[in-house]
Amino acid sequence: MKNTNWQLVRGARYHPNEGVSFTVWAPRVKTIAVHCLAPALTVPMRRDGHGLHTVTIADLQPGTRYYYLLDGERRRPDPVSRSQPEGVHGPSEVIDPDAFVWTDHTWRGIALQDVILYELHPGTFTPKGTFTAILPYLHYLQNQLGVTAVELMPVAEFPGARNWGYDGVALYAPHSAYGGPLGLKTLVNACHEVGLAVALDVVYNHFGPEGNYLGEYGPYYTDRYHTPWGQAVNFESEEGGEVRRYIIDNALYWVTEYHIDILRLDAIHGIYDASSLHIVQELGEAVHAHARALGRTVLLIAESDLNDARVITDIEHGGWGIDAQWSDDFHHATHTLLTGEQNGYYCDFGRLTDLSTALTDGFVYYGQHSRLRGRPHGTPSRHLPGERFVICSQNHDQVGNRATGERLSSLVPFAALKVAAGLVLCAPNVPLLFMGEEYGETAPFLYFTSHTDPQLARAVSEGRRREFAHAAWDQTVPDPQEPETFYRSRLQHHLREHGQHQALLRFYRDLIALRRRSPALATCSKAHLEVRTWPEQKLLCLRRWHPHGEDLLLLATLTAEPLTFSPALPVGSWQKIVDAEAEQYGGSGLVRLPEFIAGADGAALAFAPFSFALYQHLSRDEVSQGSPDSSSGSA
């Protein structure tokens, strides 16, 4: 990977044979000194007229731990610290970003439509909970399961050792309990060596509540807006330019010093900016330009509750130019049909037509009235390419924000898990799996924290109980601060070797392999897509084809009742290539769709509860020659 002119200037920069230069923006501080612990010394910094403090100290080496001494009395970590080995309140550490020996020189990234994401939490994916503990599982993820990208939940230093990561306060410091800078670079390098891209979840809508000293340095916050997590980040004021730089530099930093391929921007609906150039667009332009200079593909995926097509519309067409966004509408449409839940934000969903719209359009709500919001919601999205939408049946939010963290495997029958998987992996969108779903993990994914401030810890625990008190869950909601809450969330990898877990993993593996080799499924084209629904029967038919030949038909029922029905299917002769009822996928093998169907004959078909099957169109020659029986259920 060739170098570019961009470098991280803020923070501590190591210069071989010269020492370390320190730069910090702190307009609210009159004097700052660098206070090193070993060697023990304190060196004043020079302040310019814009609140920028600088100094170079000769003979300092990587590994030096230091604080900034604010106005001669307060010891604080560096806002641009590359490492916080003693946590959010401890000293920062000088890091040489060029010390790591990368071996991924031929890696250039991944195209958006080739992305199959696997979201994981570094602390609960393995018993050790470190970056390097993930390494032995890379072969499984890449070769046995077949995903193409690992997505890490946020890794910026947060208080304590247990947290989802959204309470990060040292945005440039990979979490020390996970293995710090060396551990993260080792993981990314190893992923690239086996052909896996790496996505990183980054949080720019707020900063965590504990160990957050940014407000002492400068106007990083504004009272003009409020977020669900506290004060909004200040992107608009006269001094907001340095705050914007702080965030954009962070994105470029992950791409440059850690070779990250995809940045997932957390909850951009909580980023408030009325500037002529929105910070999300500015950040996207900077990252894409830097990627081109590096000769790499770097993607940006937003989480957004806005249903605003502008976010994922190209800049030349008046949008913000973000490559893709999470599609909560697809999840909600699928979840309500499989579970029957209608509480909370699920109240706007529950119709089979919602799922059909999610497949054809992207946004289910594109201007209609939303019961949840009490107003019209969203903008049209049918014109946008399918790969602009990242879809899932489970993710950290949809599982972990439940009171007791139940996964879909605890909410629906086994057959319904295969329907959910089939819809996600065969849709014309970018699929995302949440760690463990591929084998039906039964451990919950709970909300956990490890705040060291007693008052904050108590507030978090009490707040979690109050959040679910209306549902009579106040006595059973696990305490986020209890270590056991974290331990219960760890994956049980051994499950995938046995029984239905093994069968479900085989189903995921075969569908992923089919998606990757099938011309009809590998493209996310909406131009070669047809969806038919029979709402009363809860039957969905999805047809996807490639202009140069391959034509596939997906049949799925989203009901726990068996069904005999004569759907008007697309004309032609179709041969079954996947059947979720096959014994190798944990099905009973008793109620099975026929090996061949003719779309025009109107024959009655018998569907098992939560049925899923894929058919391939036969050419005239194949029909006239008598196509051999397929291996039922084999992808």
* 78 among known catalytic residues: no
How many CB atoms lie under 10 A from the CB of residue 566?
A: 10
- Residue 303 annotated as catalytic: yes
Cβ distance 363 to 445 under 8 Å? no
Q: Which of 93, 236, 273, 303 is catalytic?
A: 303
CA 496 from chain centre, in angstroms, equals 23
Cα–Cα distance list, 541 to 381, 382, 402, 415, 513 (Å):
21, 19, 31, 18, 21
| Residue-wise DSSP of 66-120 | EEEEETTTEEE--TT-S--TT-TTS-EE---TT-S----TT-----GGG--EEEE
User: Residue 514: in which H helix or E strand, if any?
Assistant: helix 499-517
The alpha carbon of residue 546 and the mean position of all alpha carbons in its chain are separated, in whole angstroms, by 29
CA angle, 146 then 147 then 150, to 5°:
145
263-290 b/e (C-beta count within 10 Å ≥ 16 → b): bbbbbbebbbbeeeebbbbbbbebbbeb
Q: Which candidate in 78, 151, 242, 266 is catalytic?
A: 266
- For 204-219, the DSSP string reads -S---SSS--HHHHS-
Q: In angstroms, rounded to a whole number, what is the distance separating the alpha carbons of residues 25 and 91? A: 18
Distance of CA 547 to the CA centre of its chain: 32
Q: Which of 36, 71, 73, 40 is nearest to 53 (CA)?
A: 71
Is the bond preceding residue 535 a cis peptide, omega within 30 degrees?
no
Residue 584 identity (one-letter amino acid): Q
Q: Could you give the 3-state DSSP secondary structure of residue 205?
A: coil
How far apart are the C-alpha atoms of 209 and 612, rounded to whole Å? 46
Around 472, how many Cα atoms within 13 Å sit in the side-chain half-sphere? 0
Nearest partner of 215 among 28, 35, 456, judged by Cα: 28
Q: Which helix (H) or strand (E) holds 521?
A: helix 519-522
Indicate if the alpha-carbon torsion angle 66, 55, 168, 220 is positive or negative.
positive
Give φ, ψ of 631 to 5 degrees. -75, 105
- Alpha-carbon torsion angle 461, 464, 466, 467, nearest 10: 170
Residue 464 is inside which H or E element, if any? Answer: helix 454-467
Catalytic residues: 266, 303
